[in-house]
Amino acid sequence: MASLSAAKQQLRSAMKQRLGTISHEAAISQSSAVYNTLKSFKPYVEAKRVSVFLSMPSGEIQTDAIVRDALESGKEVFVPYLHRNPVASPSLPARAMDMVRLKDLGDYESLKPDRWGIPSIDPATVHERQRIFGGPDAQHSDRALLDIVLMPGVAFDISPENGTIRRLGHGKGFYDYFINRHNAKSSSLKQEPPVLLYGLALSEQFLSSPSEGSVPVGPLDQPLDGLILGNGEIKSPIENKTK
């Protein structure tokens, strides 16, 4: 596990340097390409309950247009909310991520940036919102399951062994832990199909050849159902298994 952690951190450091060279204009252009691909992408178009990450000011795909489109299309839009993990265990993260629902476009536009510049939910309003997990004050949490999760990441690649799409996160384990909990909840409620997981990435975040490195993964790392890149391309694990 120590060697896995070191390999992940090494790749994060390398990707930080690579992403630091991307201009704001280039990132905006790639974000537009991702949005234009996504808005006609069947899994997204048909999804009724969508989770979308809210972006840092730089270094990743900007999701503002996606959030607006999802809200204006009548989808139920959920965004990340970090809180203290109610389950205390050395094997679990001290903080956990839930997904809470935006009420409408005005609600989204009223979000204030946190210290990283990410628009964030006011903790004082969380008890008023529908969310996936939460506590006894969560509204309809027993019925809240997602259709698709649009995920950020630091780096992505395709496994040469089995064709799965691998994701390197920022190292906190928030998404992997959330997805494991969501899958368990879905199983207990006997609801199908399972939630779809799609990464959104700048083209520079995709490691297209072994010379660029590879994404190290452990048993808790969740493979993705697909990846949409800043050049408009959609990477699919099924396509790559058949090549």
Q: Using only C-alpha atoms, what is the Rg of the chain?
A: 17
Binding-site residues for ATP, in ranges, read: 8-12, 167-175
Binding-site residues, in ranges, read: 8-12, 54, 60, 167-175
Is residue 80 within 8 A of residue 96, CB to CB? The reply is no
> Which residue(s) pair with 139 in the sheet?
130
Closest C-alpha among 134, 126, 83 to residue 107: 126
> Which residue(s) pair with 200 in the sheet?
228
- The CA distance from 80 to 175, in Å, is 9
* Token pair in block for residue 207: 């490691």
Which helix (H) or strand (E) is 199 found in, with range?
strand 196-201
Residue found under tokens 């299309």: 73
> Which residue(s) pair with 51 in the sheet?
78, 149
Binding-site residues for substrate, in ranges, read: 54, 60
Q: Is 150 helix (H, G, I), strand (E, B) or coil?
A: strand
